[in-house]
Every structure is written in structure tokens, then in C-alpha cells.
Amino acid sequence: MNNKYFDANTPKVAAVVGFYMSAALVMVFVNKAVLNGSPDLPLLFLLLQLLIAVLLLHVAAMFITRVEIPKLELETAKKLTPVVLVNIIGLVFNTLCLRDVEASFFQIARGLVLPLTIIVFSAHTRTVPSVRVGIAAGTVAIGFLLGVAPSATVPAHVAPSGLSLFYGFLSSLFIAFHAVLIKSSLPYCHNSTIQLAYWTNLGSAIFLFPFVLLHREISTLEDLVHDSNWDGQTFLWGSIVTGIFGFLLCIAGLLSIKVTSPITHMFSSALRSVIQTLLGVWLFKDIMTVNRAGSILVIMIGTIYYTWVKSLEAAPPPSKDVDLETIGNRKRGDDSNDGDGEVTVIFGGPEDDEKV
């Protein structure tokens, strides 16, 4: 592994990884607690998170020079409509999936993110993934199937429904589309991820608002406010906390990859999944079966293997030692034979041909 991944000192790496894992865990469990208490307000809950993220970006722009709020131009908005639509559709299905499954099962329900991303990217670029990438995707898919297989040890009232698994599949699929669209959308935002995040959150909130009205969640909220059994404090503070931590999670993920390495980041994500599962069993009394534990383990192995494979594929080929004396002899020989004075030296492969 390249030493550049370890330039940061150990305390900094530990702090960033801890920050990332903490933000991610808070997001999942506060989301789950709010959705358990207000299952009829999933879209309104998501809308509040998006609006808080937009507000926080404005606040950050006031104090951080690197955070630049983009100019709202209609032409740019049209170009970014596909990535915004895909983003909000994925978020909606992600929220519905989390609402309908146990917190410890959430990672399994969305376990097809990696295979679907590989498939969508390959179709988009018209390329065929390597055998090792295929093995990684297949491993993750097997882990998903292992987790969703019916189990006699899971009571019927807590077993994931077919609809919740469908939500998980659609969430994974739109996450895959989003990952592909981000790269093509960045040039419209001056290659600024902050500006793209602003457009995505604001645009998603605009597209989501009509569906909040159509789903009659405003009326539902009014009814719940007059219901003495409804815990409105959990919904209000949960919306604020998840909005803030959703914003922090974006920063934490970028820092985790920047300060550490992609492999270290993936290991921290895998560890987060394990902690999330254990906390789900402890906090929400989720049921953990052998199938589910095995599923999470297999998905983690496949994901980590994929990250390792991609790091190898991205690594530059080792340069071969060049015998300068031999090159000089070859050049002199060529000069005396054909007067061309040109010699081809190969560094690493055919694509690295260099004329000297």
C-alpha cells in the first residue's frame, strides 16, 4: 500500500474515523427512533432534513471561504435535474426501508448497493468489469440473499416484508444511478462538491414538497399535534439532530477518505455496520439470527475485497530499471546502421512508449 495513505498522524486519523463513525451511527438510530414514533410522516421528516442541510450550508458559507453557495440559474437547474431526481427518489425509498425494517437489518436490506453500482457503471461506460470485481459483487449478492432468506427463528411480526425489501432494492438501485450521475454533473457546478450538494439538497426539497402535500402529511401532523399520545418532541428534535448530523456526515465521509485511505475508510464503514447491528439488538431489541449475522459478515467481506481489488487496479505499474549504458549502445548501433537516430524505450507497457 502506498505510504501516502499514512502521512497523517495516528491521533488525527483516529479522530476523523471516530467522527465519521459517530455521525453515521447517530443518523441511523435517530432516524429509526423518529420513524418508529412517527411512521406516518416519513416524507415530511425527510423534507425537514433537506431544508436544515441547505440552511447549514448558508451558515457555513458565512464563516468558511471554501464553502461557496452557487448562483441559482435556470439553465444549470435543468442540467442538474436528473441527478436531483435520482437523489430524492433514492432518499425516499431509503427512508421507507428504514421505517419498515429493524435497524440491525437495514444494512442487509440495502446490501445490493455494490453489485448494482457495478452493473449500472458497466452499462453506462459499456465496459466489462474484471473477474475479481465480479467475484466481489457476487460475494455481496450472496450475502444479501443469505440475509433475506426466510428464517424459522424470526417471528412473523418482525420479519421483513416483501415491500420493505423492494424499498431496499430500489434505494440501492437509485444510489447506484446517483453514483454514476455525480461525475457527469460536477462540471455544471464548477467541479465543486459543495455546490453540487447545495443544488441536490435544495432541488430535492423542492421536488419532495408537493408529495408531502399529496400524501397529506401536513394534515397528519396537525392531527398528531392534538394527540396526547404522540411524542412531538422526538419528531422535532430528531429532525434537527438528523439534519445537522446528515450535514456533518457528508463532511466526515470526505475527511475520512482524505486523511486516511479508501481501504481504511471501507474498514471503518464495515466496523460501523457491526456496531450498528449490535446497537440495534441492544437499543431496539432487534432479533439477530445466524442467517443475519452470516449475511452481514459476507457482505462486509465482499465489500472490503472489492475495495482492495480497486486499489490494486488503480495503482500505477512498477517502473522497470533502465540500463542507460545499454540504451546508449543501442542508439549508437542504430545511428551507424540506418542513420535514423531514434530509439523506442518501453516503460511499463505499450501505452508508455517514449521516443528518445
**Span 179-231, pLDDT tens digits:** 888 888 889 988 887 888 889 999 999 999 999 999 999 999 999 999 888 98
Given a cut of 90, is residue 52 above it in pLDDT? yes
SS (H, E, C) the chain: CCHHHHCCCHHHHHHHHHHHHHHHHHHHHHHHHHHHHCCCCHHHHHHHHHHHHHHHHHHHHHHCCCCCCCCCCHHHHHHHHHHHHHHHHHHHHHHHHHHHCCHHHHHHHCCCHHHHHHHHHHHHHCCCCCHHHHHHHHHHHHHHHHHHCCCCCCCCCCCCCHHHHHHHHHHHHHHHHHHHHHHHHHHHHCCCHHHHHHHHHHHHHHHHHHHHHHCCHHHHHHHHHCCCCCCHHHHHHHHHHHHHHHHHHHHHHHHHHHHCCHHHHHHHHHHHHHHHHHHHHHHCCCCCCHHHHHHHHHHHHHHHHHHHHHHHHHCCCCCCCCCHHHHHHHHHHHHHHHCCCCCEEECCCHHHEEEC
| pLDDT value, residue 10 | 65
Dihedral (CA of 335, 339, 341, 345) sign: negative
| pLDDT value, residue 208 | 96
| pLDDT value, residue 212 | 95
The answer to whether the predicted template modeling score (pTM) of the entire model surpasses 0.85 is: no
Mean confidence (pLDDT) of the chain: 79
| pLDDT value, residue 267 | 59
Mean pLDDT along residues 311-336: 54
Strand partners, 353: 346
Q: pLDDT of 265-296, one tens digit each?
A: 555 666 677 777 777 778 777 778 888 888 88
Q: pLDDT of 68-122, one tens digit each?
A: 899 999 999 999 999 999 999 999 999 999 899 888 788 888 888 889 988 998 9
Confidence of residue 251 (pLDDT cuts 50, 70, 90): low
Higher pLDDT, 39 or 346: 39
Confidence of residue 249 (pLDDT cuts 50, 70, 90): confident
Higher pLDDT, 248 or 254: 248
Confidence of residue 327 (pLDDT cuts 50, 70, 90): very low
Answer yes or no: are the C-beta atoms of 180 and 120 closer than 8 Å: yes
Higher pLDDT, 224 or 252: 224
Given a cut of 50, is residue 67 above it in pLDDT? yes
Task: Report the distance separating Cα 141 and Cα 144, nearest Å.
Answer: 5
Backbone angles phi, psi at 355, to 5 degrees: -90, 130
| pLDDT value, residue 156 | 67
